[in-house]
């Protein structure tokens, strides 16, 4: 009888212990994306998937998607504040809008996490409890290094949107790679000066000439722009093209082929590094790309949120890592490349340990300019 009583007590204690840990505190997270975009959707998709698989969290994640309007972002954040969400996450618009949104969250005592686009110029950026975004200067730099090493000198630079933050940053990095390779950039005092001023037509030096145009981040508009440039410059008027994301690079390749030209005769490089570009580089269709995964951003946000809610320390302002892929290293690094928006493939690689995802890993870099 005594043994039975002891056994019963053990069972009761085990039940109480497991019961106490089986029900994590529910949390509500308001997420705003400033436009309909597969990249943005992938961030929330992987965030939800990781939360659903984690028995230690009970999160309700509500997503509002705008159309690029500053007013929509302000209204969304105001809604999250009024409703009393436990955390607010925003893929933000512009500096002034970001500042107002952060202040609303601070006044309400709600943690604010920024995503994707920099708000380093915002005076109260330090009041955000987290920020995640890629270093777009480095993304352009990696492409520029490959172009310079392979001798490309007359390059059509297809920016996403001329002068837009991430597009301008990629162009800056691209030119800086030539500067660091001791290439002459002529009258421009620095890569920053050239990236800011740009030029009309194909202009520059014997080491580097650039033709600036915009592809609007889209395949069709980049294809049209490239077709017009081929007509204007002729097949020998350029020897390389830098398309800052995968859809634009796809349009560029099609325009070259439809003009009766061989893509292999030109240096072709890109950004984003979506899965199709891995194949292009492997097959020699393009020369290089830079693997930039939306899913790494979403995973990093998941880790930050979990640490914040648990009262644990975490790296607050980070750049997920970029991986340069080219015709020489593609086979070696293939398994470690990070899926762009395929959540199932990402989770499989995460579980198998073939990709790095922990934000404490040194591959993730600390972003500067947020805490000063």
CA-to-CA separations, 329 to 68, 246, 250, in angstroms, rounded: 38, 19, 21
Give pLDDT tens digits for 298-348.
Answer: 999 999 999 999 999 999 999 999 999 999 999 999 999 999 989 999 999
196: number of Cβ within 10 Å: 13
315: number of Cβ within 10 Å: 17
For residues 140 and 162, state if they share a domain: yes
Q: Which residues contact 184 (CB under 8 A, 6 or more apart)?
A: 205, 206, 207, 208
225: nearest Cα among 213, 209, 236, 210: 213
Using CA atoms, how far apart are residues 162 and 168, in angstroms rounded to an integer? 7
Average per-residue pLDDT for the chain:
90
pLDDT for residue 7 is more than 90: no
For residues 130 and 236, state if they share a domain: no
Q: Which of 245, 271, 291 is the last residue of a domain?
A: 291
For residues 207 and 300, state if they share a domain: no
Using CA atoms, how far apart are residues 289 and 320, in angstroms rounded to an integer? 16
Using CA atoms, how far apart are residues 306 and 312, in angstroms rounded to an integer? 8
For residues 67 and 85, state if they share a domain: yes
- Kindly state the tokens that stand for 12: 């009761």
| Residue 189 falls inside a structural domain | yes
pLDDT for residue 189 is more than 60: yes
| Residue 350 falls inside a structural domain | no
Average pLDDT over residues 235-246: 96
pLDDT for residue 4 is more than 70: no
For residues 209 and 300, state if they share a domain: no
pLDDT for residue 210 is more than 70: yes
pLDDT for residue 197 is more than 90: no
pLDDT for residue 114 is more than 60: yes
pLDDT for residue 21 is more than 70: no
What is the extent of the structural domain holding 146? 136-291
Res. 3 pLDDT band, cuts 50 70 90 = low
> Could you give phi then psi for residue 189, rounded to 5 degrees?
-75, -20
Q: Give the length of the chain.
A: 372
DSSP state of 57: -
For residues 270 and 143, state if they share a domain: yes
pLDDT for residue 62 is more than 50: yes
237: number of Cβ within 10 Å: 16
371: number of Cβ within 10 Å: 10
Average pLDDT over residues 128-141: 94
Average pLDDT over residues 276-302: 96
| Residue 180 falls inside a structural domain | yes
pLDDT, residue 369, reads: 65
270: nearest Cα among 139, 87, 359: 139
For residues 204 and 258, state if they share a domain: yes
Let me know: does 288 contact 143? Beta carbons within 8 Å.
yes
pLDDT for residue 235 is more than 60: yes
Q: Dihedral, CA atoms, 202, 171, 90, 62, nearest 10 degrees?
A: 70
pLDDT, residue 263, reads: 95
pLDDT, residue 11, reads: 44
| Residue 53 falls inside a structural domain | yes
For residues 39 and 185, state if they share a domain: no
């Amino acid at each position: 009888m005594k043994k039975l009583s002891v056994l019963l007590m053990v069972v009761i204690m085990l039940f109480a212990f497991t019961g106490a840990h089986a029900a994590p505190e529910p949390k509500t997270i308001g997420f705003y994306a400033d436009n309909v975009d597969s990249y943005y959707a992938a961030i929330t998709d992987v965030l939800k998937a990781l939360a659903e698989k984690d028995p230690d969290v009970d999160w309700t994640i509500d997503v509002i998607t705008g159309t690029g309007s500053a007013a929509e972002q302000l209204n969304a954040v105001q809604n999250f504040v009024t409703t009393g969400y436990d955390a607010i996450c925003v893929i933000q618009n512009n500096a002034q809008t970001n500042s107002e949104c952060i202040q609303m969250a601070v006044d309400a005592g709600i943690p604010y996490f920024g995503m994707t686009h920099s708000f380093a110029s915002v005076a109260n950026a330090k009041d955000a409890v987290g920020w995640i975004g890629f270093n777009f200067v480095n993304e352009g730099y990696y492409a520029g290094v490959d172009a310079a090493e392979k001798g490309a000198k007359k390059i059509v630079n297809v920016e996403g949107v001329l002068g837009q933050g991430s597009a301008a940053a990629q162009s800056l990095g691209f030119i800086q790679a030539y500067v660091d390779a001791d290439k002459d950039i002529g009258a421009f005092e620095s890569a920053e000066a050239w990236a800011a001023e740009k030029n009309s037509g194909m202009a520059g030096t014997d080491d580097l000439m650039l033709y600036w145009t915009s592809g609007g981040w889209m395949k069709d508009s980049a294809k049209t722009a490239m077709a017009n440039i081929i007509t204007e410059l002729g097949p020998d008027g350029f020897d390389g093209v830098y398309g800052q994301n995968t859809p634009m690079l796809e349009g560029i390749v099609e325009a070259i082929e439809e003009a009766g030209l061989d893509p292999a005769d030109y240096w072709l490089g890109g950004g984003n590094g979506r899965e199709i570009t891995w194949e292009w580089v492997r097959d020699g269709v393009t020369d290089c790309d830079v693997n930039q995964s939306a899913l790494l951003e979403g995973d990093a946000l998941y880790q930050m949120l979990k640490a914040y809610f648990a009262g644990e320390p975490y790296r607050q302002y980070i750049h997920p890592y970029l991986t340069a892929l080219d015709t020489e290293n593609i086979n070696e690094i293939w398994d470690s490349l990070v899926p762009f928006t395929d959540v199932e493939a990402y989770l499989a690689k995460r579980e198998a340990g073939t990709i790095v995802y922990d934000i404490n890993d040194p591959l993730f870099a600390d972003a500067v300019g947020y805490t000063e």
